[in-house]
Amino acid sequence: MATIPGAGVNAGGRLDRLPIAPFHYRIFWLIGAGMFFDGYDLYVGASVLGSTLAEKFATLAQVPQFISWTFIGMTIGAVVAGFLGDRFGRRFTYQINLVVFGLASFAAALAPSMDWLIAARFVMGLGLGAEIVVGYSTMTEFVPPASRGRWMSFMAFIVVAGFPATSIISTIVIPSFGWRPMFAIAGVGALIVWYLRKNLPESPRWLETNGRVEEAEALLRTIEAEVSGGQPLPPPAPPKPVVEWSFGSLFGAAMLPRLIVGCVVLITINTLIFGFVNWLPIFFGQQGVGITRSLVYTMVIAGGSLVGCALGAWAADAFGRKPTIIGASLLSIVAGAFYPYMKDPTLLLSVGFVLIVGIYILTALLYGVYTTEIFPTEIRLRANGLCNMLGRGATVVSPFIVLSLFKSYGVAGVLGLMIGLLVVQILVVAVWGIETNRRGLEELEARSV
């Protein structure tokens, strides 16, 4: 890491002073469309697996292989995308990952055997893991700090919307046409988004930090002309000293605390989602709820995911990142402590809904906002790739831990694990977390020097 006087085109200051305009919405929806299909495919496995078992296409022993290889692919994809995105650019990487995901989806739809489907699912996982890293990070570099939390939380809302969308589409499609069209839909959607994204610009921040100053200047002038409509723009903040970061900087005194925070929060939220939310129908059965009612209960409680993301979008800018993360963690702890002991259906649904709201406030903040803000532009994707690698890695082992706890201690044992992780998260964020609300990315970078 080295610090040199302010130089270049001041991409950060010029982008941050821009008023919200159709340009920002276009960027948001182009990135968000790809993120939606990421969310769609993340949840499609449950419906597909049920159908493959019913058709005798798959055996029960192959189900955990399908799940595990999906997350192994996502873990690898997150790391690879981080290195590619910082080396070759955001635009190159999000186009590559969509092609990989789209073509693998068609291969899955045409799978002649379950082994083929598992292999295709692994390749799809590579694209899925990459999309999470590149999509959030790229959007972060375009939106102004005053409303960055709201923009990024609503990006998480779009991803989470894949949950109910997958449920509705599978209910309509699978009974009439089988499971294969579910993958074909993902493939067609991904390739359409790939075509539309060809006009998505490279990040001026990335261009500047990689010495491509003339390209950054030309792009910034184009963006400013579009946004201003010929009207004068407010002056940008003066450029901050240019700090040169390398991958090794992540393990130095300035960045290591942030890396630890990023890893802890993504391990926690991934375990909450894939170790609790996805197990809700099974937990309901243990709590004496029949299979039909359990599916209805799950659908009702799942509505809390969208409410939580919407609240996260509001709270991120209204209260700040750290207070919202800590507050939502406390809400989840309290609801989680009461949830296993709820026997009355009304109380079970009410407390469960509050718990899901708390979890998805965290989802919006931790996936969409916080981890993308705390790292410098030069190493943003690599840092997020590492954090997501550990977060996704947790989903490979957490089902076995959850199953063991569930067998031995029931739902209370599973919630005990979740509460323990949330307590660790609160402590880590309180001690090492930085407040990023309404601060420019370059300001946050300079504060770590």
Across the range 247-252, mean pLDDT stands at 91
DSSP string of 97-144, one letter each residue = HHHHHHHHHHHHHT-SSHHHHHHHHHHHHHHHHHHHHHHHHHHHTTS-
Residues 394-438 have pLDDT tens digits of 877 887 788 888 888 888 898 999 999 999 999 999 999 999 998
Name the least confident of 81-85, 93-97, 313-317.
93-97
The pLDDT assigned to 295 comes to: 58
Residues 6 or more apart from 232 whose CB is under 8 A from it? Answer: none
**Region class of 366: left (phi > 0), else alpha (psi between -120 and 50), else beta:** alpha
Q: Tell me, what DSSP letter sits at residue 319?
A: T
pLDDT beyond 60 at 274: yes
The pLDDT assigned to 291 comes to: 47
pLDDT beyond 60 at 5: no
Report CA dihedral (100, 181, 29, 316) to the nearest 10 degrees: -90
pLDDT beyond 70 at 289: no
Residues 315-346 have pLDDT tens digits of 999 999 999 999 999 999 999 999 888 878 88
Residues 23-56 have pLDDT tens digits of 999 999 999 999 998 888 887 877 788 788 888 8
What whole-number distance in Å separates Cα of residue 192 and Cα of residue 186?
A: 10
The pLDDT assigned to 401 comes to: 85
Average pLDDT, the chain: 88
What whole-number distance in Å separates Cα of residue 214 and Cα of residue 372?
A: 26
Q: Give SS3 for 449.
A: coil
Q: Which domains does the chain have, with CATH numbers?
A: 2-215 (1.20.1250.20), 245-447 (1.20.1250.20)
The pLDDT assigned to 429 comes to: 97
The pLDDT assigned to 2 comes to: 46
Which residues are registered as beta bridge partners of 278?
none
Q: What percent of the chain has pLDDT over 70?
A: 92
Residues 6 or more apart from 212 whose CB is under 8 A from it? Answer: none
